Structure 1
Amino acid sequence: MQNDIVKCGLKEKTNSNLVDTIGKEAYVWCEKDWKHDDHEHAHQRAQLTFVEEGYQYFHIDQKIYLVPQYHVIWIPSGKAHRITSEAKTVNLMVFLFKTVFEDDFYQNVHVFAVPSVLKEMLLYASKWNQLTEEDEEQDLFFKAILKSLPNFCRESSYLEIPVPSDARLIPVCTYINSNFKYSLNADELAEKAQMSVRSLQRIFKSETGITLQKYHQLVRILKSIELIDGGQLTLSQIAYKVGYQSLSAFTSSYYSIMKSKPRVKKIN
């Protein structure tokens, strides 16, 4: 009989459901150089994931959420999700909560930048890494983090890449994802969707909540984050690789999405 796979202290049984055998209300699971699979799973604990280094993509409910370094994602209990990343190194802290407060915040997925106070709280909590026995200080501390999350959260829909359910739009998204460096050609995209340009623009906006142009911009910026994480290129080189003709145009576009200026890692 095959041994159960353990993920963050939860045992994976059939149908990619993780079984909770831990009695305590909340705990934290930290790992350096995180290794993960990319299949969908669910568990009956709410999850707060802090990306300390690298970046992660979370695939949830026909959306792809980017969680860059020093961001967190909140995932409600029972919400199926899968994780992908091509970052060279991914260091994560995963907080798992058995129960949450009665607030609408806790029933929805959220991604937001971590303010300095929350960052220090999360890093302090690493001293309880993988501790599954009861600890009074930890219990009170984790409740404080949980209670404060709605106040720390900002509206961060700019980190979501929607995936349309209309099959006609999938070739359009696939093409943009592969050719993001080039300008959009509405006629060419409409041909791939086998509809008129006007219909494509209307249906795409209805399906995803954003325009083709916004989708194109999101893909470019998310690709630039991957290149920045690689630490091998200057910002000017990255701007060119993702399709911008100048560093200033790239910086402006990046800021409009990420609400901060791009900063390249030091090249070794």
Structure 2
Amino acid sequence: MPIPYKHIDDEQGPVLLATVWRDGKIRSTSPHHHQRGQLFGAMRGLLAVDAGRSRWVVPATHAVWVPPDILHGVRSYGPYAGWSVHVAASACAALPSKPAILSVSGLLRESVARAATWNDAELNTAQSQLAGVILNEIATLPQTDLGLPMPRDCRLLKIAHALSDRPDDDRKLEEWAHWAGVAPRTLTRRFVAETGFSLTEWRQRVRLLRAIELLTAGRAVSAVALDLGYQNVSAFIHLFKRTFAMTPGQYIDLIAEG
């Protein structure tokens, strides 16, 4: 579904353009750039994002900010519903100067949903005020390292894409190496060098990112653990707490409070 605005790639038109996708289709864009800054995120599904020199997998609880003129591309995993905001370069001076992952607030989500109903025209007073709220949220929301770095080697990237599609895939390192056409030792060495994680750690992390999405959607902790291939619920809870400094139950409570 194309973005229904004619001023995405220039400074004409309103300071802020927003759109929402709810069709559940896979979203994929080849590397590109435009004059406006862009904030985008998912309401459902994982996003793999390539922005500047950074590559991440990002869950639906977070969004990615890309400043103007930064080369970037996106691919979604699983049924996808998401949103995007394009900000005129003239309004980006107070916003992050580098690509960043931001925690998404309820205020931002609701404001973007409202802005997505506007047409490609100059904003009235009320709309300008709401656009200011969105810009302030982008400027002040906490940045996080929650995103998962993606490898650059095409063979390793093939594995990373497969695990993003199916985090419960339990193939051993040797099986992945054979499938991707790379020596096991090379796979081990390069995966750490390019992502900072071993393949096992990376798979655990992508499972936890998918777990965040499922928990946020209301899935029970036990069901999430089994869906993602954990042998028992306690192992899942232990790993979740070790990674995020809270149990899945505490995370659910935190989301409910937000």
TM over 0.5: yes
Counterpart secondary structure, 1:154: coil
Cα distance 1:65–1:200, how it changes in 2: closer, same or farther (>3 A)?
closer
Q: Does 1:166 align with 2:153?
A: yes
Partner of residue 74 from structure 2, selected from 72, 78, 82: 82
Q: Give distance in 2, aligned partners of 1:97 and 1:57.
A: 20
CA offset digits 1:158-211 (Å, max 9, x no partner): 32241x223453565467668854667456566763253xx6444321111222
Secondary structure, in 3 states, of the residue corresponding to 1:81? strand
Match of 2:256?
none
Q: In the superposition, relative to structure 1, how do residues 75 and 244 fare at CA in structure 2: closer, same or farther (>3 Å)?
A: same
Structure 1 residue runs of 5 or longer lacking an equivalent are 12-17, 264-268
The residue that corresponds to 1:204 in the other structure is: 191
Matches within 5 A, 1:87-106: 87=79, 90=81, 92-99=82-89, 100-102=91-93, 106=96
- Partners of 1:181 and 1:131 in 2: CA distance: 42
CA contact (8 A) 2:48 2:58 kept: yes
Contact 2:50 2:74 in 1 (8 A): yes
How many residues in Structure 1 have an aligned counterpart in Structure 2? 242
CA distance in 1, matches of 2:184, 2:26: 39
- Bigger-Rg structure (1/2): 1
Residues 75/10 of structure 1: CA separation in 2 closer, same or farther (3 Å cut): farther
Q: Verify: 1:45 aligned to 2:48, yes or no.
A: no
Is residue 85 of structure 2 the alignment partner of residue 63 of structure 1?
A: no
Contact kept in structure 1, 2:77 and 2:165, CA below 8 Å:
no
Aligned with 1:141 (options 119, 130, 133): 130
Among 208, 227, 235, the alignment partner of 1:249 is: 235
Contact kept in structure 2, 1:181 and 1:242, CA below 8 Å: yes
2:204 is aligned to: 217
SS of 1:63's equivalent in the other structure is strand
Residue deviations 1:130-155 (CA, integer Å, cap 9, x gap) = 35223233234323432442421231
CA–CA distance in structure 1, aligned partners of residues 141 and 153 of structure 2? 35
* Backbone CA RMSD of aligned residues: 3.9
Contact 1:30 1:130 in 2 (8 A): no
TM (norm. structure 1) is 0.68
Residue 27 of structure 1 corresponds to which residue in structure 2?
17
2: CA distance, partners of 1:120 / 1:95:
13
Q: Which has the higher contact order (CA 8 A, sep 6+)?
A: 2
Q: Distance in 2 between matches of 1:246 and 1:55?
A: 24
Identity of aligned residues (%): 20
- Distance change (3 Å), C-alpha of 1:36 and 1:97: farther
1:127 Cα shift? 7.7
Letter in 2 for 1:219: V
**Distance in 1 of aligned mates of 2:159 and 2:21:** 37
In structure 2, runs of 5+ residues without a counterpart are 253-258
Q: Is the 8 A contact 1:128 1:138 kept in 2?
A: no
Cα pair distance change 1:35/1:45, threshold 3 Å: farther
Match of 2:3 in 1: 7
What is residue 239 of structure 1 aligned with on the other side? 225
Distance 2:157 2:164 in 1: 10
Q: 1:58 to 1:137 in 2, by over 3 A?
A: farther
Q: What whole-Å deviation, never above 9, does each CA across 1:44-83 have from its counterpart, x for those lacking one?
A: 21112354x3234143146243241x43321222332133
Residue 129 to residue 31, structure 1, CA distance change in 2 (3 Å)? farther
Of residues 119, 129, 149, the one that matches 2:118 is 129
- Is 2:191–2:197's contact at 8 Å kept on the other side of the alignment? yes
CA distance in 2, matches of 1:146, 1:171: 36
In structure 1, what residue type is equivalent to 2:222? S
Question: Deviation per CA, 1:105-149, whole angstroms, max 9, x where unpaired?
Answer: 6232222332344445445x4485335223233234323432442
